[in-house]
Amino acid sequence: MAYRAPVDEIAFTLKSVAGIDDLLAEGLFPELSADLVDAILTEAGRFATDQIEPLNTVGDRYGTPIREGRVTMPSGWRGVYDQWVEGGWPALTGPEAFGGQALPKALYAAIVEMWNQASPAFAIGPILTAGAIEAIESHASDTLKGKFLEPLVTGRWSGTMNLTEPQAGSDVGALRSRAEPAGDGTYRIFGQKIYITYGDHDLTENIIHLVLARLPDAPAGTRGISLFLVPKFMVGEDGSLGADNDVTCRAIEHKLGIHGSPTCTMGYGDRGEGAIGYLIGEENRGLACMFTMMNNARLAVGLQGVGVAERALQQATSYAVERTQGRAPGASGDGMSPIIEHPDVKRMLLTMRGLTEAARAIAYSCAIAIDRAETMQGDDARSWQARADILTPIAKAFSTDIGVEVASLGVQVHGGMGYVEETGAAQFLRDARIFPIYEGTNGIQAIDLVMRKLPIADGAAFAAWIADLRANAERVRAANDPALAAVGARLEDAIADMEAAAAWLGTTRNEGRVADALAGATPFLRLCGLTAGAVALARSALLSAQDTAIAASPAGVRRALVARFFAANPLTATASLRREIEAGGDVIASATSEMLAS
């Protein structure tokens, strides 16, 4: 099946549903016009479709083996990467002072989704480089910025994030890598990091590692972690590359999916001299610096989930149109029906589309909140930053869960042909399975939402989001369309479930019943995602219905259908999720480790 980036649907969601048109109308990006947004999206879609997508199967089959001591990328990848750099794509959101274009994060989000539709293994490397740029720009000294930012922004170099160690996993405070002051302003880094995405490769001239390590006599736990910039090759004062640093790729992981992305075990100081590193930010404050990079990556990983879901949806839809099997109810003639005419296949395809488009709208809305926080001032900026803080764990966790669910449904639509590799449906599921795990597992995202984000401004920030969702639901209910009015009523029920669950969690947390609150965290995040996604789908349908040029078009009719389906099907889970949140903690608390291990 031929993939094509759905530029029109992405543009509609970005401009009208998420609201980048409002950003432009308010003059927050004065050099950007709606026409330019369309042109950038169109060209990004072309590049994803024509250049990146052909790498997907090649990368999956070849992997990234170490040959003669070097990590080698699949055939064709270096050429496409070079074209990607020449096209200026790495510089989209980078600072203008260092060769960037400083475009909105929301526009970048739409483009990141398209890159991931085409090949998530290709896209994840640039995602981490963008996060490294943001961390360096926000926290590094002017000297480090002047030496390292421009090659990163323009894509000549790439960046990595080095947190995880074998004994630590998600518990960053347990890391053991150490940094010893060298007496000349630099440090010597020793230790091992695992699961380092694009830790080594042959696409760029240099690789800049951001590494968490402990200084001598540092406090225990997360309070004693510092962040260091460690180049693969040393960089001279004139920017030229020098000797290789004491940094080694010890091994490549053999993974379930994203085979074209080199996942490395990295050694620092294997030669005994120590890898030369430079402190970013203050001593023992490295985790705060790294969170700048992690928040960037969490939204981007959410977009990976959306991208693979879109790809699985496209392929399943195409297969369902072509594959004939049995006779659908009401079918005419004597032949077999295309399976897309069978009710259960319709249900699966509508579920796939609804979940994909809901997750897309949530992720884009998160990016819009980040743009507003960065371009506005005072209370407005703080309010939008709070909104971004709330949406980030939902955009990451809900969207990546959706990626797995939609890819799994895609295999089901294919039947037995989905379980064999020839169709490609299995690769989407294999690739998607890592997204709920890396950049902070989805369980951690749910904990973050309940324990840190719900209490922002004593709950006022979450209440403001609820109010916005309810206002949109009321507009849908008031529409001059009985079908949409019914959708609006269901939205209001779901929002009430979400509000009540949030209140219960807040009370539970404030009473010190932490275990009960944590037991409800994951279903609460799901409840929020379903509700916010349903509101976005209904808003999309309403805006389409109000535009006479769109209302009767295939896209307009489809948006109304998807909003109605989502409200009548996936959204009905909010009531059961609320009951699970409020009643499930006692049973979970009663499950001892001995019981579970027996």
Contact 178, 225 (CB under 8 A): no
Which H or E run contains 284?
none
From the list 308, 363, 404, 310, the residue with the least C-alpha distance to 110 is 363
- Identify whether the C-beta of residue 80 lies closer than 8 Å to the C-beta of residue 51: yes
| Whether the Cβ atoms of residue 306 and residue 403 lie closer than 8 Å to each other | yes
How many Å separate Cα 373 from the centre of its chain?
19
- Nearest 5°: the CA angle 569, 363, 48 is 105
Q: Residue 301 and residue 113: Cα distance in Å, rounded?
A: 9
Q: Which two tokens stand for residue 587?
A: 């049973």
Q: How far is CA 326 from each of CA 331, 334, 341, 368, 416, rounded to the nearest angstrom? A: 10, 10, 10, 46, 16
What is the spatial distance between Cα 309 and Cα 314, in angstroms, rounded to a whole number? 9
439 catalytically annotated? yes
- Could you tell me which residues come within 8 angstroms of residue 60 by beta carbon, excluding any fewer than 6 positions away? 121, 257, 259, 260, 427, 431
Q: Tell me which of 357, 439, 499, 580 is the catalytic residue.
A: 439
Residue 336 contacts residue 327 (beta carbons within 8 Å): yes
- Per residue, what are the HEC states of 32-79? CCHHHHHHHHHHHHHHHHHHHCCHHHHHHHHCCCEECCEECCCCCHHH
Q: Tell me the torsion sign for CA atoms 128, 134, 139, 141.
A: positive
Asked if 589 and 519 touch (Cβ cutoff 8 Å), the reply is yes
| Backbone torsions φ then ψ of 71, nearest 5 degrees | -75, 130
CB 510 within 8 A of CB 445: no
Show which residues are catalytic.
439
